Amino acid sequence: MSESPQKQPRKTQQRSLRTKQKLLDAALEAFSESGFKGTSTRDIAARAGVHHPLITYHFSNKDRLWRSAVKYVFEDFVAELQKAQDIHAGKSPKARFAAMIHIYVRYAASHPALHKIVLQESAHQSPRLEWLSENFLNPLADAAGRYIAELQELGVTPPGDPLIIYNMIRVSSGTLIALSRELKSTSNIDLEDSENLDALADLIVKIYLPGDLGENQ
C-alpha cells in the first residue's frame, strides 16, 4: 500500500532538515579545525555524508554556510545563557552570574567550535570577523560588561574595566577548553572530566567574583 500524498512532502521536508543539520554540524567541526580558507565545501559534504551539490542547494555558497553554522551555535549558546538566567532569576546577582559562568564552561566543553571558530577568525581582520562581532560578540560583551559593573558596585567583582574582566573570564573558560588537548598533553589536565569542568568554573567564580553578599549570596 502506497503512502498518502500528505505524508510524502512531510518525509521530504524532514529529510531535508536532517541533511541541513548534518551540514551545519560538519561545517562547525571543519571550520573550527581548519579555518574558513583551509576548509573546502567538499570536505564538509564528506564529513556530513551527503552529496556535495546539497551545500549549494541549502546554503548557496561556503560563506553563507559559515555564517549559518556560526549563527546556529551562537544562538543556541545565548539561549542556554538565557535559560540559566530564568532558572536563577530569584537569586542574587552574584549567584546568577556564577550560574552563567558554569553554563559557559559546560557549553564550551560540549561545543568546542564556539571558541575555536572565534580563535580562527581572530587571526586576521575579515568581513566574517566583523559580522561575528557585530551580531554576537559585541552584544554578549555589552551585556556582560553591564552585569559586571553592577557586581562591582556591590563589591562582588574587583575594580577595573568591566570589559577587560569579562574577556579575562572568557579566556579563562572558553580558550582553556579550546586548548584542552594541549592541556592534557602538557599539564595532565583532562577537561573532558566533569569534575574538572566544575573545578574550573568554581575557580573562575572565586577569582573574579570574590566579594560576599552574605545570606543572599
Look up the pTM and report it. 0.86
Over residues 94-110, mean pLDDT: 93
**pLDDT on residue 216:** 45
Q: Is 11 exposed, middle or buried (0-12, 13-18, 19+ CB in 10 A)?
A: exposed
- pLDDT, mean of residues 73-87: 92
Q: Which range, 58-62, 120-124, 170-174, has the best average confidence (pLDDT)? A: 58-62
Query: Distance between CA atoms of 54 and 83, rounded to whole angstroms?
Result: 34
The alpha carbon of 213 is separated from its chain's Cα centroid by a whole number of angstroms, namely 30
pLDDT at 6 over 70: no
Closest CA to 135 of 75, 191, 48, 181: 75
CATH fold of 7-216? Tetracycline Repressor; domain 2 (1.10.357)
Position 53 scores a pLDDT of 94
Angle of CA points 112, 181, 23, to nearest 5°: 35
What is the residue whose three cell numbers read 576548509? 39
Between CA 103 and CA 106, with CA 105 as vertex, the angle to 5 degrees is: 65
- How far the first Cα of the chain sits from its last, in Å, is 64
How confident is residue 3, by pLDDT bands cut at 50, 70 and 90? low
HSE-CB of 57 using CA atoms within 13 angstroms: 11
